[in-house]
Chains A and B, each alone.
Chain A
């Protein structure tokens, strides 16, 4: 009896990897953009543009893990605003800086805990829960800050001006975060179980995996990282308003989706989201240097997203038939 049959060819394995399409698009975008404008290939320009969305990109890395686990969190941008507002308000009312930072981070954690409580303990769908909390957090931020902007101390301003080997600090943090989270997701039991929970939560429970604990950790991490991102934004902008990071949740979801993360869970990688973040920056800077209207830019992004999703799904389903 013949037991061993040949494994599928390597090109096949690579083609169905979720981030392949992102990588191809990234290369294409770089080639096209450098044709459009000679300025484009100026690396420091791209890096500087990246700092504008680095905070969202950092949160998108964690969001990727949440989505792989079969949940979603749409509240992090509002979380960024609320924790930044709390922090700015605290230090403006005379509380020492380290304590104020602590308040901001704790607030972020608490917001993550609130989401976790409703999703895990009350078993409500995370999409509904986080649409609710997104509105709630933004509203609270507005109550705290009104429509004024709260200034932060001068020494706190300018995280994007700090260069490490010529690379802006937010970019360095993003790369480091991607590295660490990528390692966790791909190389540890925790990461492995995130995929298993997202693929089949019931089977995960039967296999002795603590599905609730995994989700709790992810929502808490999400809250904490969003708070950090909120304060990074505050440092970059020099002041905090209630509308900090407004609409950011869509950019984050966009990055995860473009990176090949499957919206229903179980599939996706940190590398994919990492590449997608760069892809978005390359495309939008490319379009800016080529003097495209902002309205057209948005349309291009939309088309890009749809192309990426259709392409990955098409390739994936073809290999299944």
Chain B
């Protein structure tokens, strides 16, 4: 790590939204050529700090200097000119334009009516992707790319505009382990070139593997900055949540009952083939595999979002026909989707409305909404899941990512489902809440509910599940009982057949 003058100097940075202070007097120095992690609970202010540096938000108070010169980063455009790029968790490029267009967009200094030099643009874009060492067809539209590839394009864009500070807000959350490795390789190379990277993640092991120094936020204040070697996990957690973490991931002891959900030969051509399994009452069944293995598609088929073409579904022993989510809900199913921004939240509507969205019958017993009941239910959920917010009337889009996730979870817990399908439910949730969340899942199973847990986090599957199913390329490849489950076994079944030979 170089010990030259710091690249970024933040002094007394404070941010308040409508009178609510969410970031308090943050002082932070970033060196050239370091990877600096931001850690903290959900709502601690990590994203807010990142957005201030990237010109998305303006600080209420405080100063920023870049390279020893005080700067006023008043917009993302100014940030880009100063060499600061924020890579959002959900890539926000132009989905219908090609990769090349996205890469080169807004960089040239052409006049409005000058011809677009397509050939040149494509060549330039290809060169940039080669530099990153990834193979992406730059003439394809962004929409068709995997999230990992979209991230690569964003990184490419940051490099093309000569960014010296690149901020990545939870970049690894939606990636497969292999994609994470690729990303880490690139990030390390960027560090080698003397660039500075801010890396936000809830996964301590990633931070340990990648970062030089960490800064820990709690309740909007910076509580510590130190080299990663000087802090052990327990210390980091204590700094993050202000108390030691309680023991978690212990196995509950629910009694396993009759079959609640039975899937038989479910097929949707191109997505998944011949998927059959059972989930019993009181049982937690894990569904592992790599991102893109078809797990989400199976869940969507069961829940009626995109029904399967053939195969049958039985709920509590009866064959059912689920054509749309409404039918599934009536049968006591609930589904917490993976992509909360697209299929979870109503961004501009109140937290309260978001939480009660799936239980219209309960908040409006005679057709008219009873505000008192709704308030009570929402406030209850907020307390139980410790959702951090200013008011339940606040638009949910103003909550931090992890707190939005908790609100969506609350929505489905209120529906009191007999069968609960969870798709990557702990993505973006902090360590403390994760522990509580595992407790909740255990409790739900003890109450006799059947739970299907889709997760890419192996430790989570191994610790929580009675049985683990594994999918690869649209097929079930393994069913591993708890006693025999190991990381290796799950991974082995998750790797697609063709690649297995090469990888070994």
Contacts and interface: CB of A to CB of B under 8 A. Distances in A.
Interface of A: 1-3, 5-9, 12-13, 187-189, 192-193, 195-196, 199-200, 202-210, 266-267, 319, 321
Given A1-B242, A266-B348, A209 B386 contact: no
Given A3-B386, A188-B368, A321-B57, A206 B325 contact: yes
Contact of B391 (A8, A187, A195, A205): A8
Given A199-B346, A319-B18, A7 B391 contact: yes
5 contacts: A1-B242, A188-B364, A195-B349, A199-B348, A202-B342
Interface string B358-385: 1010011001110000000000000000
A187 B325 CA distance: 24
For A188, A193, A206, the residue with the greatest tally of chain B CB atoms inside 10 Å of its CB is A206
Main secondary structure of the interface of B (DSSP, over half): loop
B360 A199 contact: no
A5 B20 contact: yes
Contacts of B349: 195-196, 199, 266
Contact of A187 (B242, B329, B369): B369
Contacts of B328: 208
B314 interface: no
Given A188-B367, A189-B367, A203 B305 contact: no
B43 to A, nearest CB: 10
Interface of B: 18-21, 57-58, 219, 241-242, 303, 305, 324-326, 328-329, 335, 337, 342-349, 353, 357-358, 360, 363-364, 367-369, 386, 388-391, 393-394, 411
A159 B353 CA distance: 42
Nearest to B342: A202
A146 B20 CA distance: 65
A169 to B, nearest CB: 29
For B58, B325, B342, B346, the residue with the greatest tally of chain A CB atoms inside 10 Å of its CB is B346
A137 B343 CA distance: 37
A192 B349 CA distance: 10
B357 A196 contact: yes
A181 to B, nearest CB: 14
A206 B367 contact: no
Nearest to A7: B391
Nearest to B335: A206
Contacts of A5: 20-21, 389-390
A6 B345 CA distance: 23
Contacts of A9: 18-19
B107 to A, nearest CB: 26
Contacts of A187: 368-369
Given A7-B390, A205-B305, A200 B58 contact: no
Contacts of A267: 348
Contacts of A319: 18
B347 A199 contact: yes
A2 B219 contact: yes
A207 B358 contact: yes
B325 A189 contact: no
Contact of A8 (B348, B360, B367, B390): B390
Nearest to B336: A206
A196 B335 CA distance: 18
A208 B329 contact: yes
Contacts of B346: 195-196, 199-200, 203-204, 266
A305 to B, nearest CB: 23
Contacts of B337: 206
Contacts of B390: 5-8
For A199, A267, A319, the residue with the greatest tally of chain B CB atoms inside 10 Å of its CB is A199
Contacts of B357: 196, 204, 207, 209
Contacts of A200: 342, 345-347
A202 B391 contact: no
Nearest to A207: B357
B219 A208 contact: no
A203 B368 contact: no
A200 B337 CA distance: 14
A12 B411 CA distance: 27
For A2, A6, A192, the residue with the greatest tally of chain B CB atoms inside 10 Å of its CB is A192
Contacts of A193: 360
A189 B388 CA distance: 27
Nearest to A12: B18
B411 A207 contact: yes
B19 A210 contact: no
Contacts of B364: 188-189
B347 A210 contact: no
A188 B370 CA distance: 9
Contact of B342 (A196, A203, A210): A203
A210 B58 CA distance: 40
B342 A6 contact: no
A210 B324 contact: yes
B369 A6 contact: no
A207 B346 CA distance: 10
A203 B339 CA distance: 10
Contacts of B348: 199, 266-267
Contacts of A205: 305, 324-325, 343
Contacts of A210: 324, 326
Given A196-B349, A200-B346, A203-B344, 13 more contacts: A1-B241, A1-B242, A6-B19, A6-B20, A7-B390, A9-B19, A188-B368, A189-B369, A205-B305, A205-B343, A209-B357, A266-B348, A321-B57
